[in-house]
Structure 1
């Protein structure tokens, strides 16, 4: 199960990131079959320890893109502790929905708020305070809130009423009514901002359902929220409400550090209309410099970025979602490639013969290499590195803004981890034409680039020519261009020149060609897969959407404790016990055969299942054994296969004889039903019991062999915010490997066959039943009474039960001299029979005299 789960989770994680909306385009019906060619993953999954890769920041992507709708946001806020409110990362614009009290820390930002942000509930502090526990909030942040906001608000009668209604409402609105209130103020979303001082946790799972409809969860990703304040680099843009509150809180000490803002703001107000407004005579940028978040003397990168975007401390950072059209295009190409590799052996051979590209790509746009500047940085969060000793941009680009990496005093090159699959996709999406001109932008590895690009172009032209892709490619390209995503580098043309900001808008070559589109799509594919992000930096001067650095996938070991084995162990143990018990009973019967010198009713051995098993094992355990067989026959078989390159699922088809043997186990259910119905069917039982068992066995085997159970995969991600801007829980799909319909079918088959066979017996053998010999005795089990051969063992109302049949009937016998001692395990009663008296009543010339004298005589109660 470890390998199967690792394979499934790896595949499912990728398709979830590419978007649920893409799936109907990829398959012929809304449900996926795991054994289809599109479900394939490179590599083997046969190790005892397996890892599941997932997008490390997928929780943040869900928060920013799918869970920003009002119902999810309000429910998430109500699940959030009041103490965590200031750590919800957003820059507030207003105190209340009616926009009476403004909160932006600069006039320019307040103008931006009014112009474009009022539809976002996250810029109103009222949206949060209305939906959290106000007592919790005030216990943690009450003094700071009073100083920073409440004092100014409550200076008017309207403000006092607002505080009363917001913090101490008479009743809490339902979520539906709360949504209506927000919409009445034209609020449509709740968009928090991008940050890297905390990880937004995600617990994401899928389920596997058995035939009983019981679902067992398996982790796709398991991360709890965590702070990383010491590793963040983004507080220079804006440091969050928590730090605002910390700065304006009254009665602060005189200490000042990056984690403790300076004393000069203590007791001030965050409301712009207040005479004590904190930023009336200073700016947040100056405060950041004073407490060390920004250096007192800005680096050249910081100066240049400030000039282009605007002052630090007032910069909004918004997560830009990857366009669905781009995700769709990548998903469809991946699917098409998997189909080709899964059905064409030559294509698979040629694909894996393509030169490994992982260490041969360090591109830079021609517009930059023509300038031939020396890159000294690639992130606005970090200062530049020294010019001396650095290579030109032709050697490759340096690290982009990173969510994870910290600033360093030396150059680090931007990471790009292309695979053959990425390169094939890039060739298709970029409409690649002139290989030489394209690889000229990969100066350091130009020859190697030419080799593998030519190989990929040859592969694509041979196996992946499909005109249907043209519309998808055009839609994806247009969608990317509309986001205005840029790559940036900071560089100098000489040591004496100032640092300049170099910008390249992806897929929009300034020379009118598409030479760099091939390399751009490599970065963009990683964006579609969640391995990169795009962040829009919105300042007082302008806005710029910047592509971020590669973030390595999260690798988590498969948790073996999630595999549900307890019930299967119990059932397997029960099956083993029953098997051993029946072997023991059979051995006991053989001993009595020898003890009786063969004087037994051989035909009674055929009733071992219907009499011996029920007497010695019991109906509950036999029911469990029959149920185990039905479980197996009602469950789909999926086997993980590896062809040396890729792993896939294959539907298992057991040999016919295994199916026949499994179907035979269902006849235990037949035996139980026959036994329970015997008070009604009585003497008709022996006339249909065997036919009934054979009929059920045959139909079950045929049904299981020709119409086996199939698995069903349903992909539907459902998420909930359990802590706003901090923790998300999702279920992303279900794999049904068992179907209750087959369980019900087999159960109804057992009952229907019983009824049909009984009715047929009633019609066909009515007169014969009336003449059958029967015995009534508390020592004779009902099954033995109606199923054992009695006619030749009855004499003068005495049933001479041979000792083998007696043992099957639950009576253990020991003969000492002329006395037969017996223990009935059904009644837990011991009794003895004097055989000398019985022997004298049996004529010597009786055909069964010898057998009677070795049998247990039981007198009929009739």
Structure 2
């Protein structure tokens, strides 16, 4: 108390000093006692403020450290980047689109496993070039087609339309290239709206038609002719050419009233189909972002790559041919193209050729009159493929080392019955019509095959497809695998084959054989469905001086057939989008062909 009292007295004396007075030594000594007293309330506020600033700054820094992985992207997704997370999401969605998976799924389950290196800065999304074709070439619903036809001008529609079987919905005016093909149309095609020219003409803008470069050839080869043939033609012209669009529902009802139930286009490879797929990511803040998972643009391919021109040269070229020869595309016209002594094959391709050309014409039918239809992936195969992969991923996680050590050589293989010492082969693609004789078997049809090179037929022994084939054929013993490798050409390839299959057999027997037994009923159903499709490889060949067509079903009635092992590998590739199946339907025969693998993008 005395100390504070002294402080009070000193303070009073200091404040009472007159201006100019000097503070004595005693005053200073007494005033020094002030610095030894406890801190004031004001000082504590200062210290607290400093501590607050330090803690706030520290907390802010820690907060930024914690949230920086999330704030590095627009989705608030920790460590999300384009080469790993985004690429994985895209790959996963693209994979799931090949399976019957619907609804929600767990990103962290084994069913969401993708075997791929995502740590590289150059990792790209895996896309299948066949994805757009799988959508556009399957049978389409009529109510989806009408708006598409109306959104595209006549010129673009003309470029991708299939060869018409009829002009009108009543099938009064037939238009197939040949009499045999018209029979095929009448027997198989009546429900397909794509094969009626009226389908297109009713759904293009009238002003577009009247100003089109195609109007003159349309009039000279079709319109004027049908008006001259009958009253039905006059009536058809009146209601079709100068028309007003009906509402989509009414237009579809009209098509259905004439027996049309679907729209399916045919394959052409002059104009590459494009596809863009996106997924929506919703962040924790409710913000939506879009990620492109598949993007292949539409493009005009070089004319030299247009191999499907040997199947059909395009309706615009037919119009030009009719105009050039002063003939009609209507089969019943007095000046019809064929009636006037013309031949479509000869007009487009000429009379020259070789053994391959002659074999195609005499076994499949004339060139430029071949329908090519996509064979859709059977749902049972899709389901089996997805179930198999799910079980594979679940099991492989237990012993990934043995699985990842399996080799994947690319081997030249051919059916045992095709091996002949004195044989020469011309190819297995019906659209490569002028193949030279080669001492080796060549690949099947491929969308990107421009017929410029005659390659050897090879297959990649990818580990997943090999394990799938072992499951489907139950061929795992050394003797059975030896018979498979005997399909290769040469000792070196045989050795490489055995070095690949024997370790794969050990992995299958140890890890997969027991868990996959539950899928046997599903496999049986799938085998029956595939057998009914008659999916095959073919080859034009000369054996012992005899020109012939070699034919090999991919899946034979014997499940333990050596070639069936290869066939099931191709079925796995078909299921994951690496291969496609097309039906080549000519005037004389039909071939359902498994394609060669599409090149990676």
Please classify the TM superposition score into its range, dividing by the shorter chain length: 0.7 to 0.9
Match of 1:168 in 2: 242
Match of 2:372 in 1: 317
Match of 1:123 among 172, 192, 195: 195
2: CA distance between counterparts of 1:130 and 1:371? 59
Match of 1:283 in 2: 343
Structure 2: 5+ residue stretches without partners: 1-80
- Matches for 1:710-859 after TM superposition, within 5 Å: none
Match of 1:402 in 2: 446
Q: Compared with structure 1, are the counterparts of its residues 224 and 84 closer, same or farther at alpha carbon in structure 2 (3 Å cutoff)?
A: same
Match of 1:329 in 2: 384
Match of 1:412 in 2: 455
Q: Compared with structure 1, are the counterparts of its residues 372 and 31 closer, same or farther at alpha carbon in structure 2 (3 Å cutoff)?
A: farther
Match of 1:504 among 532, 538, 552: 552
Deviation by residue 1:772-806 (Cα, 9 ceiling, x = unmatched): xxxxxxxxxxxxxxxxxxxxxxxxxxxxxxxxxxx
1: CA distance between counterparts of 2:498 and 2:121? 40
Match of 2:278 in 1: 205
1: CA distance between counterparts of 2:202 and 2:540? 44
Deviation by residue 1:462-507 (Cα, 9 ceiling, x = unmatched): 111222110121122112111111101222335xx24421110111
Give the match's secondary structure for 1:65. coil
Match of 1:272 in 2: 331
Kindly indicate whether residue 144 of structure 2 is the aligned counterpart of residue 72 of structure 1: yes
- Matches for 1:613-624 after TM superposition, within 5 Å: none
Deviation by residue 1:223-277 (Cα, 9 ceiling, x = unmatched): 222222231112122212111122223xxxxxxxxxxxxx4x2x32111121121
Match of 1:712 in 2: none
Q: Compared with structure 1, are the counterparts of its residues 414 and 9 closer, same or farther at alpha carbon in structure 2 (3 Å cutoff)?
A: farther
2: CA distance between counterparts of 1:64 and 1:383? 24
Q: Compared with structure 1, are the counterparts of its residues 371 and 307 closer, same or farther at alpha carbon in structure 2 (3 Å cutoff)?
A: farther
Instruction: Check whether the contact 1:400–1:547 (CA below 8 A) recurs between aligned residues.
Output: yes
Shift of 1:371: 7.5
Match of 2:294 in 1: 221
Kindly indicate whether residue 524 of structure 2 is the aligned counterpart of residue 474 of structure 1: yes
Kindly indicate whether residue 510 of structure 2 is the aligned counterpart of residue 432 of structure 1: no
Give the match's secondary structure for 1:500. strand
2: CA distance between counterparts of 1:245 and 1:417? 44
Kindly indicate whether residue 574 of structure 2 is the aligned counterpart of residue 527 of structure 1: yes
Shift of 1:417: 3.1
Instruction: Check whether the contact 1:89–1:194 (CA below 8 A) recurs between aligned residues.
Output: no
Instruction: Check whether the contact 1:57–1:199 (CA below 8 A) recurs between aligned residues.
Output: no
Kindly indicate whether residue 306 of structure 2 is the aligned counterpart of residue 232 of structure 1: yes
Q: Compared with structure 1, are the counterparts of its residues 540 and 150 closer, same or farther at alpha carbon in structure 2 (3 Å cutoff)?
A: same
- Matches for 1:240-251 after TM superposition, within 5 Å: 240-249=314-323
TM-score by length of 1: 0.57
Match of 2:402 among 327, 331, 350: 350
Instruction: Check whether the contact 1:415–1:550 (CA below 8 A) recurs between aligned residues.
Output: no
Match of 2:107 among 34, 39, 46: 34
- Matches for 1:562-601 after TM superposition, within 5 Å: none
Structure 1: 5+ residue stretches without partners: 25-29, 250-262, 291-295, 555-862
2: CA distance between counterparts of 1:530 and 1:370? 33
Shift of 1:77: 1.0
Match of 1:516 in 2: 563
Give the match's secondary structure for 1:104. coil
Match of 1:90 in 2: 162
Instruction: Check whether the contact 1:300–1:498 (CA below 8 A) recurs between aligned residues.
Output: no
Give the match's secondary structure for 1:546. strand
Kindly indicate whether residue 151 of structure 2 is the aligned counterpart of residue 101 of structure 1: no
Shift of 1:383: 4.3
Which structure's residues are more often strand, by fraction? 1
2: CA distance between counterparts of 1:277 and 1:31? 58
Instruction: Check whether the contact 2:409–2:497 (CA below 8 A) recurs between aligned residues.
Output: no
Give the match's secondary structure for 2:455. coil
Match of 1:369 in 2: 419
Deviation by residue 1:529-556 (Cα, 9 ceiling, x = unmatched): 22222221111112111222211132xx
Match of 2:92 in 1: 11
Instruction: Check whether the contact 2:396–2:511 (CA below 8 A) recurs between aligned residues.
Output: no
Match of 1:839 in 2: none
Instruction: Check whether the contact 1:299–1:384 (CA below 8 A) recurs between aligned residues.
Output: yes
Give the match's secondary structure for 1:468. helix
Instruction: Check whether the contact 2:356–2:435 (CA below 8 A) recurs between aligned residues.
Output: no
Q: How much is the aligned-residue C-alpha RMSD, in angstroms? A: 2.1
Match of 1:542 in 2: 589
1: CA distance between counterparts of 2:161 and 2:580? 17
Aligned residues: 509
Structure number, greater radius of gyration: 1
Q: Compared with structure 1, are the counterparts of its residues 173 and 383 closer, same or farther at alpha carbon in structure 2 (3 Å cutoff)?
A: closer
Q: Compared with structure 1, are the counterparts of its residues 386 and 552 closer, same or farther at alpha carbon in structure 2 (3 Å cutoff)?
A: closer
Instruction: Check whether the contact 1:231–1:406 (CA below 8 A) recurs between aligned residues.
Output: yes
Match of 1:194 in 2: 267
Give the match's secondary structure for 2:552. strand
Deviation by residue 1:589-635 (Cα, 9 ceiling, x = unmatched): xxxxxxxxxxxxxxxxxxxxxxxxxxxxxxxxxxxxxxxxxxxxxxx
By relative contact order (CA 8 Å, sep 6+), the higher-ranking structure is: 1
